Structure 1
Amino acid sequence: MTNTPARTPARVCFELRIDPARIDDYIARHTPVRAEMLAEIAAAGRRNYSLFLAPGGRLIGYYETDDDDAAQAYLAASPIAAAWEAEMAPFFVGLDGRPDQAATPLTEIFHLADQLAASTGGSASDDERDAS
């Protein structure tokens, strides 16, 4: 049996802007998201997915995946995701393209587990990764 090192998942964070006049309806569409769309997100390989809404319509999203390019390609080819994104597109301002494909990516500059591991010369434990 080959002992392969654990692969660190990609942590992806992005920003979108929601039309402030449509925030309540946007929230309602996510409370809850349709089951078939939830299944597509999971099938794409995204997990630990969250959306955070700030005043004025600033939306921050976060998820983890083992292969973000593959996850993006899966959702780009999914008729279920295409229908959902077409339905969601009118909620966003300053967006050119599908929300799931055109969101502004944010650059990670700090991650506790990674820095703890680097400072001790070890690797982050599952508990440290889960705490972040």
Structure 2
Amino acid sequence: MTSHTPARFCFELQIKPELLDEYIARHTPVWPEMLAEIAAAGRRNYSLFLAEGGRLVGYYETDDDVAAQAYLAQSEVAARWEAEMGKFFVDLAGRPDQAATPLTEIFNLHDQLAAAGDAPTEEGTAS
């Protein structure tokens, strides 16, 4: 049996320090219709992490990021959400979901274990 590993994407943005509390409040919770659009775009396992000073790091997985980006670019709900979120970020040209700085993955445990023939299976044991 072959398994498909989705592509992983990570990005960062800088939140204006004076707006951190409001930014957090806007994400607890995110609009239900925006959550549905993210899922419909094909993004999974989506998380945002906040570091000291307002550094925001996001992560998600998808099978086709070009299609996911295109879907969200055409979404009226996403356009409204991103228009509201734009004010929170430092030096951002464009919509936050399309202007974030991508980060390059340099290590992934699962991938390296798989390459070594030691990747854990879904049951948690090595294959």
Equivalent position SS for 1:45: coil
2:48 maps to 1:51: yes
Counterpart selection for 2:121 from 122, 125, 129: 125
Counterpart selection for 1:98 from 95, 109, 113: 95
- In the alignment, structure 1 segments of 5+ residues that lack a partner are none
CA deviation profile, 1:36-88 (whole Å, cap 9, x unmatched): 00000000000100000001110000000010110000000000000000000
What root-mean-square deviation, in Å, do the aligned CA atoms of Structure 1 and Structure 2 show?
1.4
The whole-number CA distance in structure 2 between the counterparts of 1:70 and 1:106 is 19
Structure with the largest fraction of helix: 1
CA contact (8 A) 1:114 1:124 kept: no
2:60 maps to 1:63: yes
The whole-number CA distance in structure 2 between the counterparts of 1:85 and 1:98 is 6
Residue 126 of structure 1, CA deviation: 3.3
Residue 119 of structure 1, CA deviation: 1.1
- In the alignment, structure 2 segments of 5+ residues that lack a partner are none
The whole-number CA distance in structure 2 between the counterparts of 1:41 and 1:32 is 14
Equivalent position SS for 2:38: helix
- Which amino acid is 1:70 matched to? A
Paired residues, what number?
Answer: 124
Counterpart selection for 1:12 from 3, 9, 12: 9
Q: Percent identity between the aligned chains?
A: 72
Residue 124 of structure 1, CA deviation: 5.7
Equivalent position SS for 2:116: helix
- The alignment's TM-score, normalised by the length of structure 1, stands at 0.89
The whole-number CA distance in structure 1 between the counterparts of 2:88 and 2:16 is 6
